[in-house]
Amino acid sequence: MLEGKVEGAVFGGVIGDALGTLVEEMDSETVKRAYGGPIFDFREPSPLSVCPHLKKGQYSHESQVFLMALEVYAEKGYFDENLYVEKLIEWVKDEKSHRYPAGSHINAALSYAAGLEPDEARVKACDIDGAIPAAAAGIFRWDSSYDAYSEGSYIASITHDDEALVDTAGVLAVAVSEVLGGRVLLSTREDRLGFVEVLREFAQTQMVRSYLDLLYQALGRETSSLDEVILLLGNGNFAPEAFSLALFVALTNSTSYKKAVVTAVNSYGDFGGDTDAIAFITGTLVGGYLGVSSIPEEWLRCVEGSDYIRLLTKKLIDKIRQ
């Protein structure tokens, strides 16, 4: 049971990222020109996309850094900051392995490589990219939301110096831990509202609590369309808004991994959005909630490095069981 949830969370996030990358920062008209309409399956990236150099099924830097964090847990059985920084530095040195645009993680890695102390190396930014690796803490600490918050926020603080970003990362880790640990049900509106209340209790900053309050309002209505919620919460790369929108999509589509991820991927709205990060978070939560069997088999085969992801997940589960 746990194995299926862990594998579902890992594959679920990476697949969401790979699909969302196709339309990141594109508005609806550009998506129509590039692909003929919304994205429902893996495609070759359009020349109009921000990632025209990627291949079908490849994911962005968000998944790369997330997988690095998972590797640390799988290799050590705990989160080793030094090993994580080493992995970031090796990644940034290999320019061919970079995806796009990965500015904050690359800048932090370059600073560490230059010998700067953490206080100098951390980037002052609140982009959702900086919170994504915290999902690894939520997976590994599936049995304790308190440990998940502590480690998720810690992982983000290694590269970022922004309290709202670090808080978002911690709450993201809690959300993943709650889902994998089976401590939450999402069947009814009351269940979903209760889940948001739990997350709000962990939030340490007024900024993150305010966005969760807006999410609570949207979930409490009889009907809230995705377009209305995008106007309410936003869909850009500001960490609290991208996280809150991903939560809305996940919580309102929790019975179908495919529907949840397709909805998240196509959350670009009229002005474009950070669809790969939104789909990553949505995919991690719903994939973890429903398990890997909920993910279409063709998507599991198509995503980049599927064999490696399975091996990494197995090593991670072995460490979790120790």
- Does position 101 have pLDDT exceeding 70, yes or no? no
Reported as a pLDDT band with limits 50, 70 and 90, residue 103 is confident
Question: How many Å apart are CA 16 and CA 299, to the nearest integer?
Answer: 10
- For the entire predicted model, the pTM comes to 0.97
pLDDT in tens, 3-23: 999 999 999 999 999 999 999
Round the CA-based radius of gyration of the chain to a whole number and report it: 18
The distance from CA 285 to its chain's CA centroid, rounded to whole angstroms, is: 9
pLDDT for residue 263: 98
Q: Cβ distance 21 to 34 under 8 Å?
A: no
pLDDT in tens, 36-68: 999 999 999 999 999 898 999 999 999 999 999
Sign of CA dihedral 225, 227, 228, 232: positive
For range 264-282, the mean pLDDT: 96
Planar angle of CA 93, 319, 146, nearest 5 degrees: 90
Question: How many Å apart are CA 111 and CA 166, to the nearest integer?
Answer: 19
For range 136-149, the mean pLDDT: 98
State the CATH number of the domain containing residue 234.
Answer: 1.10.4080.10
Round the average pLDDT of the chain to a whole number and report it.
Answer: 95
pLDDT in tens, 184-208: 999 999 999 999 999 999 999 999 9
Domain boundaries, position 250 = 2-321
- Does position 224 have pLDDT exceeding 90, yes or no? no
Question: How many Å apart are CA 112 and CA 295, to the nearest integer?
Answer: 38
Tokens of 37: 């309409």
Total domains in the chain come to 1
pLDDT for residue 100: 62
Question: How many Å apart are CA 315 and CA 157, to the nearest integer?
Answer: 26
Q: Cβ distance 42 to 56 under 8 Å?
A: yes
Q: Where are the alpha helices (DSSP H) in the chain?
A: 2-20, 28-35, 61-76, 81-93, 103-113, 118-121, 135-140, 145-159, 163-180, 189-202, 206-220, 226-233, 239-252, 257-265, 275-290, 297-302, 306-321
Question: How many Å apart are CA 197 and CA 192, to the nearest integer?
Answer: 9
- Does position 159 have pLDDT exceeding 80, yes or no? yes
Q: What is the DSSP string of 87-144?
A: HHHHHHH-GGG--S--HHHHHHHHHHHTT--HHHHSB---BGGGTGGGHHHHHHTTT-
